[in-house]
């Protein structure tokens, strides 16, 4: 099978996600779509897989016109999709997950024939050497293996092309390897394989060819060996952008220790010590589960059971619930903005003042809340029709600005950020970075845990690198450190 | 588990839905007016002042209990022990009214608060779902009433007590006046206080509220205490009206209270809701019963109508755009 797409364009509201992009996918090759957040790579892949429809442009599949209206239709035409999110239902078995939605075909006299179901599932898993047995309970498998079950689900429709939409985003590097091996196996069978990723290490390891996208436009098609990682990076980001994205570092940290961790440890964190000064942005690098998020959770009072001592401006500090941390001026921006950060059903104003509502005695001070939220909307350039607009109506980047606004509304001393720009477009990211640096310049201390190395290097004054619950390296001058050096410490 | 989120242009949706949106929001009022018109056309008796006061009096106990339920439901919880707390409070009021008369309001409210506190502590600190906690509490509190009464009614004879809580002032039943005050207090708490905002935030997303520094446990305990307190008041009024506390008093009231809240447009999924809606809901349910009796509808047929009205009104008022999961 050969998939050719010509001049695809797609807009969401006023945002042009994709402008006149053409691409050709060949059988027996792994094709990577790379670019920054918001570059349009996921949109492109979703259009190819029928999950989105282009505003203009056309696609051809082996010479036949191809315009799938849904993922189901694309699947019928032989194009399968593996989603970014985990779509495994843990209360089903491995085989049931693979054939979810198609269990009826394993029916005999209304009863499910488990033998046939399990045999078919095992055959699919073995076809790309997934090394998973259908009899294994899902809870004993890791996320990479869950992804492989999703791959098997895509294969159950006997596709000729399998598209992976940032399928490795939530996996650690060992789990990523499992998925990359699965891709190689599909390639050897002569399938078209394409994937979206912004981890250049994955691209180097797996891809035969790559297409670089930037701001919805195609930068170019390349053979994988043609470009070094640095070259890909600069094509992805563009010189001008990499300069403008991060604000200049401010006056260096005032020497006073705002927050101090002394041998803090719990079941997921080895004894760790660190300091954070006012006016300083300290980055924490590390794979998912390496401990960066845990450090934030302990400081935020989310994970109260730990040993060691935490100090805030010299005084011992041990929050048992987040409310106690907020009361001390420690604001926490969690990693999942719609599940943990803000209430999508409530208004922008409600969310902005949620952490510390303006009050007169027991009464909510509506006038002051209005003034405060208007100021925050302006300060963070939140694009919303009115403060009373339902938060759910905002775009991802603006939602994140609302969560950040909620944190800044309490006038915090310490700001704890967990991947503050995940899934945020470039424009909003620049605005978020600018606001963070401004806040730091006013004396705020920021602890920034991020999976985006670019962001850590560009924004932090210092970077701590974590691996397996331990701080393994301290980089005092991240601006002159290379991404590779940090990755070496991480893995 | 997350799934790909569809891109929905909300503002566009709202403008297109405006017609439907209007029907959705004002349906409880339409329904109330429609019922009143229908019943007054079929029976001249319905709109008489006396009958209206009877309706109001009948609505009072349900309404007061439903006020507390409104807070519980907006916070995303449920309180099934409402009817049983009403029975316990009525029993305590009956037992003490002989000696302390009007002041029997104090033990009635105190026992309501105590029952609510127990519910709230187990829900908030024990992290047991409110459905289970209050289902058990319903059986236990009802059991306490049965244990102490042995199933026999306890009559209330104290004149000053009966005068105060089931008498009339200027032709208007005192219980209605008390309910009006409680409505005012509840609306004030829900709409104007920080506590009211916390209730909505918890219902909108409990984990989000917790991570944003809201003291969720404390708020939840307060919510159940408030529900208990209002049940104490409801029990007092019900006892005074019936001039007795019986073991069966308030049976099924929890379901009527939930129905009143939901018919009033407050979804069981939490996060949104209003006191006005609950008032309408309680009136609709009461008028429906009263009207069906007045027009002489077969009593064995009435429950069928009540159930259908409940489902129909939620079918029309539910905001499917905002409620992601229907379960």
Q: What is the pLDDT of residues A189-230, one digit of tens each?
A: 999 999 987 677 778 888 999 999 888 889 999 998 888 877
- Parallel, antiparallel, or unpaired: how do β-strands A56-61 and A3-12 relate? antiparallel
Res B9: pLDDT: 42
Residue A363: its chain B contacts at CB < 8 A? 192-194
- Quote the minimal CA–CA distance from A149 to chain B in Å: 15
Instruction: Locate the domains of chain B by residue range.
Output: 45-317
Res B69: pLDDT: 97
Tell which of B192, B194, B200, B203 to mutate to test the A interface (max A CBs under 10 Å).
B194
> What are the 10-residue block averages of pLDDT along chain A, 491 residues in total?
91 80 93 81 90 92 92 91 83 89 78 86 87 88 85 88 81 76 90 84 85 88 85 71 68 72 91 92 87 94 91 92 95 90 92 94 94 94 89 84 95 94 77 91 93 86 91 88 80 72
- Quote the minimal CA–CA distance from A364 to chain B in Å: 5
- By the CB < 8 Å criterion, does B17 face chain A? no
Summarize pLDDT for B45-71 with one digit per residue, the tens.
888 888 888 889 889 999 999 999 999
Round the average pLDDT of chain A to a whole number and report it.
Answer: 87
Summarize pLDDT for B234-281 with one digit per residue, the tens.
999 999 999 999 999 999 999 999 999 999 988 888 898 999 999 999
- Quote the minimal CA–CA distance from A263 to chain B in Å: 24
Residue B201: its chain A contacts at CB < 8 A? 343, 346, 350, 354
- CB contacts under 8 A, B 285-324 vs A, are 322
Closest C-alpha to B114, from B135, B84, B94:
B84
Summarize pLDDT for B193-221 with one digit per residue, the tens.
999 999 999 999 999 999 999 999 999 99
- Across the interface, whether the CB atoms of B205 and A393 are under 8 A apart is answered no
Res B15: pLDDT: 43
- CB contacts under 8 A, B 72-111 vs A, are none
Residue B300 has pLDDT above 80, yes or no: yes
- By the CB < 8 Å criterion, does B47 face chain A? no
Distance CA A446, CA A465 (A): 16
- CB contacts under 8 A, B 106-165 vs A, are none
- By the CB < 8 Å criterion, does B215 face chain A? yes
**pLDDT band, very low/low/confident/very high, at B327 (cuts 50, 70, 90):** low
- Across the interface, whether the CB atoms of A51 and B11 are under 8 A apart is answered no
**pLDDT band, very low/low/confident/very high, at B326 (cuts 50, 70, 90):** low
- Quote the minimal CA–CA distance from B305 to chain A in Å: 33
What value does the mean pLDDT take over residues B173-189?
95
Q: At what angle do helices B174-192 and B194-204 cross, to 10 degrees?
A: 70
Residue B309 has pLDDT above 60, yes or no: yes
**pLDDT band, very low/low/confident/very high, at B1 (cuts 50, 70, 90):** very low
Which class does domain B45-317 fall in? mainly alpha
Domains, chain A, in order of start with CATH, read 3-237 (3.40.50.300), 241-329+413-491 (3.40.50.300), 338-411 (no CATH)
The DSSP output letter for A171 is -
**pLDDT band, very low/low/confident/very high, at B40 (cuts 50, 70, 90):** confident
Closest C-alpha to B227, from B109, B61, B12, B72:
B72
What value does the mean pLDDT take over residues B149-154?
90
Residue B322: its chain A contacts at CB < 8 A? 345, 390, 392
Count of C-beta atoms within a 10 Å radius of residue A281: 27
Res B144: pLDDT: 95
- Across the interface, whether the CB atoms of B215 and A321 are under 8 A apart is answered yes
Closest C-alpha to B162, from B150, B151, B172, B173:
B173
> Which chain A residues touch B if contact means CB-CB below 8 Å?
12-13, 51, 83-89, 300, 302, 321-323, 325-327, 332, 334, 339-343, 345-346, 350, 354-357, 359, 362-364, 385, 390, 392-393, 406, 410
- By the CB < 8 Å criterion, does B204 face chain A? yes
Res B2: pLDDT: 37
Distance CA A384, CA A51 (A): 27
């Amino acid at each position: 099978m050969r998939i050719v797409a010509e001049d695809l364009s797609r807009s969401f509201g006023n945002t042009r996600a994709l402008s006149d992009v053409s691409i050709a996918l060949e059988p027996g090759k792994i094709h990577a779509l790379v670019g920054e957040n918001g570059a349009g790579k996921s949109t492109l892949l979703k259009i190819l897989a029928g999950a989105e429809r282009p505003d203009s442009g056309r696609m051809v599949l082996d010479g036949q016109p191809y315009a799938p209206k849904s993922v189901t239709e694309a699947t019928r035409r032989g194009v399968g999709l593996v989603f970014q999110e985990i779509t495994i239902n843990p209360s089903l078995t491995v085989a049931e997950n693979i054939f979810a939605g198609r269990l009826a075909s394993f029916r005999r006299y209304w009863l499910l024939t488990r033998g046939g179901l399990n045999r078919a599932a095992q055959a699919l898993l073995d076809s790309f050497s997934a090394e998973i047995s259908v009899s294994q309970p899902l809870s004993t498998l890791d996320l990479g293996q869950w992804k492989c079950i999703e791959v098997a689900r895509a294969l159950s429709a006997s596709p000729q092309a399998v598209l992976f939409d940032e399928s490795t985003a939530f996996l650690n590097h060992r789990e990523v390897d499992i998925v990359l091996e699965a891709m190689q196996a599909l390639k050897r069978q002569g399938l078209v394989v394409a994937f979206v990723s912004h981890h250049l290490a994955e691209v180097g390891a797996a891809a035969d060819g790559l297409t670089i996208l930037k701001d919805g436009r195609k930068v170019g098609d390349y053979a994988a060996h043609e470009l070094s990682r640095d070259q890909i990076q600069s094509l992805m980001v563009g010189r001008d952008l990499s300069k403008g994205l991060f604000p200049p570092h401010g006056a260096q940290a005032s020497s006073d220790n705002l927050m101090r961790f002394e041998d803090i440890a719990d079941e997921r964190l080895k004894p760790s010590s660190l300091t954070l000064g006012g006016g300083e942005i300290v980055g924490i690098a590390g794979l998912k589960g390496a401990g960066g998020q845990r450090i934030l959770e302990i400081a935020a009072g989310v994970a109260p059971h730990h040993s060691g001592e935490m100090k805030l401006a010299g005084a011992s500090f041990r929050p048992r619930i987040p409310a106690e941390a907020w009361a001390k001026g420690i604001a926490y921006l969690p990693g999942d903005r719609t599940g943990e950060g803000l209430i999508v059903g409530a208004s922008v104003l409600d969310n902005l003042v949620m952490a510390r509502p303006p009050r007169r005695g027991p009464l909510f001070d509506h006038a002051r809340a209005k003034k405060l939220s208007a100021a925050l909307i302006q300060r963070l350039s939140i694009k919303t029709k009115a403060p009373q607009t339902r938060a759910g109506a905002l775009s991802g980047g603006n939602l994140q600005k609302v969560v950040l606004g909620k944190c800044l509304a309490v006038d915090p001393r310490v700001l704890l950020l967990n991947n503050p720009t995940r899934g945020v477009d470039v424009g909003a990211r620049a605005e978020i970075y600018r606001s963070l640096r401004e806040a730091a310049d006013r004396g705020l201390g920021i602890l920034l845990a991020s999976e985006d190395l670019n962001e850590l290097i560009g924004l932090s004054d210092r970077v701590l690198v974590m691996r397996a619950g331990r701080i393994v390296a301290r980089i005092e001058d991240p601006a002159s450190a290379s991404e590779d050096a940090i990755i070496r410490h991480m893995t | 588990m997350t799934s790909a989120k569809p891109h929905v242009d909300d503002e566009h949706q709202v403008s297109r839905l405006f017609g439907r949106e209007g029907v959705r929001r004002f349906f409880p009022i339409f329904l109330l007016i429609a019922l009143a018109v229908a019943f007054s056309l079929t029976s001249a008796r319905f709109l008489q002042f006396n009958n209206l006061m009877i309706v109001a009096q009948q609505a009072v106990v349900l309404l007061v209990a439903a006020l507390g339920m409104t807070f519980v439901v907006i916070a995303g919880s449920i309180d099934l022990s409402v009817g049983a707390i009403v029975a316990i409070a009525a029993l305590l009021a009956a037992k003490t009214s002989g000696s302390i008369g009007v002041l029997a309001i104090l033990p009635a409210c105190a026992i309501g608060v105590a029952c609510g506190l127990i519910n709230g502590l187990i829900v908030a600190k024990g992290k047991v779902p409110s459905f289970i906690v209050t289902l058990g509490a319903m059986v236990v509190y009802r059991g306490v009433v049965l244990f102490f009464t042995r199933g026999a009614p306890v009559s209330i004879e104290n004149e000053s007590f009966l005068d105060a809580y089931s008498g009339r002032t200027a032709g208007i039943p005192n219980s209605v006046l008390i309910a009006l005050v409680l409505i005012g207090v509840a609306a004030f708490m829900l709409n104007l206080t920080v506590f009211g905002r916390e209730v909505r935030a918890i219902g909108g997303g409990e984990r989000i509220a917790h991570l944003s520094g809201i003291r969720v446990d404390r708020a939840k305990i307060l919510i159940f205490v408030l529900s208990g307190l209002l049940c104490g008041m409801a029990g007092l009024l019900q006892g005074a009206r019936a001039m007795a506390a019986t073991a069966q008093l308030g049976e099924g009231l929890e379901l009527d209270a939930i129905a009143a809240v939901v018919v009033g447009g407050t979804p069981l999924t939490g996060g949104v809701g209003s006191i006005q809606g609950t008032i309408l809901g309680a009136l609709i349910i009461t008028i429906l019963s009263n009207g069906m009796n007045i027009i002489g509808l077969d009593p064995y047929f009435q429950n069928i109508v009540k159930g259908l009205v409940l489902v129909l009104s939620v079918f029309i008022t539910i905001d499917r755009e905002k409620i992601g999961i229907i379960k």
